[in-house]
Homo-oligomer: A and B are copies of this chain.
Amino acid sequence: MLRTHTCGELRISDINKTVTLCGWVQKTRKLGGATFIDLRDRYGITQLIFSGDDENSKILGQEGLTREMVLKVTGTVIERESKNKNLATGEIEIKLQNIEVLNGSLTPPFTIEDETDGGDELRMKYRYLDLRRNVVRKNLELRHRLAIETRNYLDKLNFLEVETPVLIKSTPEGARDFVVPSRMNPNQFYALPQSPQTFKQLLMVSGFDRYYQIVKCFRDEDLRADRQPEFTQIDCEMSFIEQEDILQTFEGLVKYLFKTIKGIDIPTLPRMTYADAMKYYGNDKPDTRFEMKLIDLKTLVKGANFKVFDDAEAVLAICAKGASEYTRKQLDELTEWVKRPQIGATGLVYARVNTDGTLKSSVDKFYNEEALKNWATACGAEKGDLILVLAGAEEKTRKAASELRLEMGNKLGLRDKNKFSCLWVIDFPLLEWNEGDQNLLASLAGRWHAKHHPFTSPKPEDIELLNADPGAVRANAYDIIINGVEIGGGSIRIHNKNLQAKMFDVLGFTKEEAQKQFGFLMNAFEFGAPPHGGIALGFDRLCSMFGGADSIRDFIAFPKNNSGRDLMIDAPSEITDEQLKELNIENVIKKN
């Protein structure tokens, strides 16, 4: 080792030791005849001191010390006169005997500080410098720790980590696949896995009993903010279990991680049906850090000649506690906010329950105080509360009300990043109608689409509805939600060949298509498939949740931007004609 100690470990008990440290120059300052250097490495910062007129000044040459220069220094640990309580090494400093410059550094394009002056693009381009910042590195240390503890927990429960292949077969019924032309098998392509779903089910057929993997997955989606073309999941599967076993096991994992990593005791996770989540939160991933449920006012408000409500399919209210004194300006802003295309409401009705008990609404023309009192009762609104009402088409209004609820949660400070509210959402619909989804191939529009994936089992009592009313069939499927974010989800799988074939039929696969794409799985089910089920947790998102951040990007060492580009290495990029030719492909754009 070039060093005897790291920059984070020397203490008062080390005084008088001769030590050698290596690290980066964080900053320097001169005071009297002395020069002070803060030397930084991954483990901390240690203060160095040398007098300006000695040998070392000569060594450093004309240009002297610059930020981010790499030094190897030797000196004696001495007690600091003015101690720095904020620094683990703050009681000591190193009186230098020798400085060796291991490497110079240009001036970084942004400051290597917790609060940097670098913008997103610049930080991504120079990600290797961005990663030097404590805050970013700590995110990745957290990620490391979460992975280790996840493995410890699952290993103790007899889960085996099994690596599944990355070069697999294209099954574009889900999101789009990334594909890989095969040189050795001309005209054929591998695909990168959207998840190891079929492989983990095959491992259950193999009797592996309990499988897990922390694994990269790939989806060629149009990227929204906070989606990455490659992402990591904690992927798990168990045999001879029922839904309850999966919920217990992975509730246990989440509790274990909160306890071990953050020292937080999470109470037993409540369970909410999908139907209730949609009814009370307008959302299948409710943020339950705060109440403010959606209240259906439809029957209460109809027939008052207020056309907006009379014509509406849905009239939904929320009660914003303690917000009755919102100003007209604030309410106007909120109205503009709900009318944004992303939210899509046509307007906002409000009713104040004033602190003196009087009620006042934006629709007094149609509803007298008596009527408003009924609203207040329905909403559980008390003195000082504000009722906000949206109306319109069912689905759109519910979605808008959900967004409004979250926005009011933000405004009222109810979404504390250091508070964690976890729950299970269960009883999801098995299928949803694909009207045309930009993340699916166009040829799949106008068909039923598996809400989770085609291997999810329907609830036995709903199987008979598969033909008559596919949309009403509920699945043995569950999501784990933390603070309004879907952290993971899974299902009990189909393990019966005939039911699986039926499912492909409902999804619009011909027998031939199903056999071609998933024949291996259906064949496997002929040889003694056990009952099984599993779950996958989004690891990037879990990390960002634990790190108290909204974005996953700073919990990924080398993320891609919203166009799927790595700005640092400049990928994707063109490849050579020689490569294209070997792969038997031509580029349409290049050719034309």
Tell me the A residues contacting B by CB distance below 8 Å.
1-3, 6, 22-24, 40-43, 68-70, 72, 102-106, 108, 126-129, 131-132, 137, 140-141, 143-144, 147-148, 151, 155, 160-170, 172, 176-192, 198-199, 202-203, 205-209, 216, 218, 220, 222-223, 229-230, 232, 239-242, 245, 441-443, 495-496, 520, 524-531, 556-558, 560, 563-566, 568-576, 578-579, 581-591
Contact = CB atoms under 8 A, between A and B. Distances in A.
Contacts of A232: 163
A581 B512 CA distance: 23
B108 A527 contact: yes
Nearest to A529: B103
Contacts of A230: 165-167
Contacts of A245: 1
Given A68-B528, A128-B202, A564-B184, A572 B1 contact: no
Contacts of A160: 140-141, 144
B189 A574 contact: yes
Contacts of A587: 187, 584-586
Given A24-B528, A188-B573, A190-B572, A179 B181 contact: yes
Contacts of A495: 103
A528 B199 contact: no
Contact of A569 (B22, B168, B569): B168
A183 B188 contact: no
Given A41-B209, A129-B206, A575-B179, A563 B141 contact: no
A563 B206 contact: no
Contacts of A147: 161
A125 to B, nearest CB: 9
A186 B590 CA distance: 9
Contacts of A22: 239-240, 530
Contacts of A208: 42, 131, 137, 140
A524 B128 contact: yes
Which of A3, A23, A218, A239 has the most chain B CB within a 10 Å cutoff?
A: A239
24 contacts: A1-B245, A2-B241, A6-B209, A22-B240, A22-B530, A42-B207, A68-B528, A103-B525, A103-B529, A128-B202, A128-B205, A163-B232, A164-B557, A166-B166, A167-B566, A168-B571, A185-B565, A188-B573, A188-B574, A189-B572, A199-B558, A202-B568, A520-B568, A585-B588
A189 B575 contact: yes
Nearest to A441: B578
Contacts of A584: 587-589
Nearest to A591: B586
B564 A530 contact: no
A220 to B, nearest CB: 6
Contacts of A183: 176, 220
Contacts of A43: 209
Nearest to A210: B42
A525 to B, nearest CB: 8
Contact of A563 (B184, B222, B529, B566): B184
Contact of A166 (B72, B179, B191, B218): B218
Which of A245, A441, A575 has the most chain B CB within a 10 Å cutoff?
A: A575
Contact of A579 (B177, B571, B591): B177
Given A103-B529, A127-B202, 11 more contacts: A1-B240, A40-B207, A41-B207, A128-B202, A176-B579, A176-B582, A179-B181, A179-B579, A181-B585, A216-B216, A443-B576
A568 B205 CA distance: 14
A127 B182 CA distance: 22
A574 B187 CA distance: 6
A64 to B, nearest CB: 15
A132 B563 contact: no
A162 B147 CA distance: 10
Nearest to A245: B1
A190 B586 contact: no
Contacts of A167: 178, 218, 229-230, 560, 564, 566, 571-572
Nearest to A223: B184
Contacts of A137: 206-208
